[in-house]
Amino acid sequence: MTSHLVLGILNGDDIGHEIVPAAVSVTKAAAVITGLEIDWRPMPIGRSALDTHGSTFPEGTMETLAKMDGFILGPIGHQAYPKVPGAINPHPIMRKGFNLFANVRPTKSFPGLGAIHENIDLVIVRENNEGFQPDRNVVAGSGEFRPTEEMTISVRVITRTGSSRVAKAAFEIARQRKKRLTLVHKNTVFKLGCGMFVEECYRVGKEFPDVTIDEVIVDTMAMRLIRDPQSFDVIVTTNMFGDILTDEAAGLVGGLGMAPGLCIGEGNLAMAQATHGSAPDIAGKGIANPFAMIESTRMMIEWLGHNRGIPQAIEAAAIMEKAIASALANPATRTRDIKGTTDTKGMTEGIITALH
């Protein structure tokens, strides 16, 4: 019998080897309860794949993933890769190759975890494939170059297509929530670049008359996220602004371990990827907070459930949501970075126990 979903498991580097297996075991347990059949396909990637396959991104990875419904990508610690030909950063290749242009990053406060405010529940939708990121805003070469020894030029790419498609993804999310979308930009300075982004957002907004739009300049947003984050629901912004604001938002609710993410695009493939990096400083100690990775995977299951019309997946995501909240409510089943007393394994087991 064929499975409902075929999902890739790519551990990534450092704490990826701890938190990705945690996400898989929680999802497996939820799937058994709801009758969701998942065909899991572990694949090599990262530093360990360099040793075993001669590349951090072995040949054929994209082709194999393209046949799946989605995959979990653990954090990639590419900064620490040795400077050898096979050591490349797979992120931009995957995001571009699968056209994963929308990075959906929720921020939610849970009581007792050290959040700066209670009742924070917002989603930042970050454009993922253009903007200021020089590793992905051009098809060849880099979006940064140095014409003379004392001058560097960094190019920011904004397109109508890139802006309108991420806007559409954000409006769709806003429609399922409180029907409010905040555009974050700086068109006071980037009159053409941010100007185009804003224009496209309003153009797309005409298809979503039920969603109210407002705008906040990015520097004001940095301040307002600290002072009144509860006044926002869904936010859409360009790549670099989104990158910075999502880390800031994570800081509001307990740190990077609390920052999940889902990358989606025009195609059918979804990629679960936590906001945080590979945290080499705590790798191998068994203390990493698995929440972001587990929640990213849960978001993927939920998204695929709706996208493919699989009720067992929607139900699995729903029971995972409750179990995660229940484990987070108890210091004995949450990690130390979020005022808990246990480790990665203890928190994972706590969530699995709460599923039943």
Q: Which residue is nearest to ligand ATP (CB)?
A: 277
DSSP letter, residue 312: H
Minimum distance of ligand ATP from residue 208's CB (angstroms): 32
* Residue closer to ligand ATP (CB basis): 157 or 292: 292
* Residue closer to ligand ATP (CB basis): 5 or 45: 45
DSSP letter, residue 335: B
Alpha-carbon distance of 289 to 159, in angstroms, equals 37
Minimum distance of ligand ATP from residue 246's CB (angstroms): 10
Can you tell me which residue has the tokens 């020089």? 134
DSSP letter, residue 177: T
Alpha-carbon distance of 190 to 66, in angstroms, equals 36
Q: Which residues contact 289 (CB under 8 A, 6 or more apart)?
A: 19, 255, 257, 258, 334, 335, 337, 338, 344, 347
User: Footprint of ligand ATP on this chain (CB under 6 A)?
Assistant: 15, 256-257, 276-279, 281-282, 288-289, 292, 337
Alpha-carbon distance of 26 to 352, in angstroms, equals 6
Alpha-carbon distance of 296 to 27, in angstroms, equals 11
Alpha-carbon distance of 15 to 2, in angstroms, equals 32
Minimum distance of ligand ATP from residue 60's CB (angstroms): 25
Minimum distance of ligand ATP from residue 1's CB (angstroms): 36
177 touches 234 (CB < 8 A): yes
336 touches 9 (CB < 8 A): no
* Residue closer to ligand ATP (CB basis): 29 or 256: 256
* Residue closer to ligand ATP (CB basis): 13 or 233: 13
* Residue closer to ligand ATP (CB basis): 21 or 257: 257
* Residue closer to ligand ATP (CB basis): 194 or 320: 320
The encoded tokens of residue 277 equal 């990096």
DSSP string, 65-98: HHTSSEEEE----GGGS-SSTT---HHHHHHHHT
What would you report as the CA-atom Rg of the chain, rounded to the nearest whole angstrom? 20
Alpha-carbon distance of 30 to 67, in angstroms, equals 24
Minimum distance of ligand ATP from residue 126's CB (angstroms): 13
* Residue closer to ligand ATP (CB basis): 185 or 276: 276
Minimum distance of ligand ATP from residue 142's CB (angstroms): 18
* Residue closer to ligand ATP (CB basis): 242 or 257: 257
Can you tell me which residue has the tokens 């999940």? 260
Minimum distance of ligand ATP from residue 296's CB (angstroms): 11
Minimum distance of ligand ATP from residue 258's CB (angstroms): 8
* Residue closer to ligand ATP (CB basis): 186 or 276: 276
221 touches 245 (CB < 8 A): yes
Can you tell me which residue has the tokens 């912004």? 237
Minimum distance of ligand ATP from residue 202's CB (angstroms): 32
14 touches 283 (CB < 8 A): yes
